[in-house]
Amino acid sequence: MKALIFPGQGIQREGMGKELYDKFPEAREYFELANDLLGRRITDVMFKGSEIELMETKNTQPAVFLYCTILALIQKDIIPDVVAGHSLGEFAALVVNKTLSFEDGLNLVLNRAIIAQKVCEKYETAMGAIIGFPDEYIEKRLEEISKESGEPIYFANYNGPGQVVITGSKKGIRIACKIFKAEGAKKAVPLSIGGSFHSPYMEEARTELAIIIDNTKFKTPICPIYQCVDGMAHTNIDEIRNNLIQHITHPVLWTDIVNNMEKDGINEYYEVGTDDTLQKIIARMCPNKKISSILEAQTYSSINN
């Protein structure tokens, strides 16, 4: 059984998507449709923009969504039995399994980016990566550090055993990273991501996005999606919709997603992105499975069009 897996924010690269645009007519059509829908040439930012421009949430999220979604849609060989997306990647996964149309997926991502950006500008928040401690230890220490410092700090991503992302106030993240490093963490550093995604800081964004999600058409998917809020496979559109509403304030349970996919018999994983971020995580957790980039595994019939 095959899974297509979609990474989230953080995989953006200067020039991302240009090769797809130049080589594949079908990709070019999707990119130009996106430009029309957005009312601006997001492709100019993706193909020619600086790293700083790509780091802006209003650009990052549509750019990552477009690259991953289009890359998956134009390939013809791998038909997924399931899909899963890490954080922002869940929106691409929902388009690829036909729960959302390309247009509706892009609209949700655009609104998510704009609404989240407003919240990011309102609060002094940050995110940080901690590697080398059991999740249970980090959970316990976060409560203690938050209480002692008076700074709000939360779990954002359970990325794999011993690999997590935390979020909260900028001061709180600095304090927590310093403490975890002193306690022997292999890595404990703030990330270059503005805002506090997957935390209570995003409650205003969740409320605003819920209205838009409720007014978006969801269709029965062609294959299950493992969702971030509970790590479980879903095909019921009401469950998928409700989980997507909770998505921006709830921790990403990627560890649970991978464990459940393995338990359910998934033995081939293809990452749809610019690098091997998710492949590395899955390789550590499922060393005997076939794990690859979709770029390495595929031929693209569009090249002959």
Which residues have a catalytic role annotated?
Answer: 87, 198
In this structure, what token pair is assigned to residue 264? 């359910």
Q: Which residues contact 304 (CB under 8 A, 6 or more apart)?
A: none
**What is the three-class DSSP state of 3?**
strand
Tell me, letter by letter, the H, E, C secondary structure of 188-249.
EEECCCCCCCCCHHHHHHHHHHHHHHHCCCCCCCCCCEECCCCCCEECCHHHHHHHHHHCCC
Q: Exposed, middle or buried: residue 304 (CB in 10 Å: 0-12, 13-18, 19+)?
A: exposed
In this structure, what token pair is assigned to residue 81? 């039995």
Handedness of CA 206, 209, 211, 214 (dihedral sign): negative
Of 88, 64, 52, 86, nearest to 16 by C-alpha is 64
Buried b (16+ CB within 10 A) or exposed e, 222-252: ebbbbbbbbbbbbeeeeebbbbbbebbbbbb
Instruction: State in Å, rounded, how far the first CA of the chain is from the last one.
Output: 30
Q: In one letter, which amino acid is 131? A: I
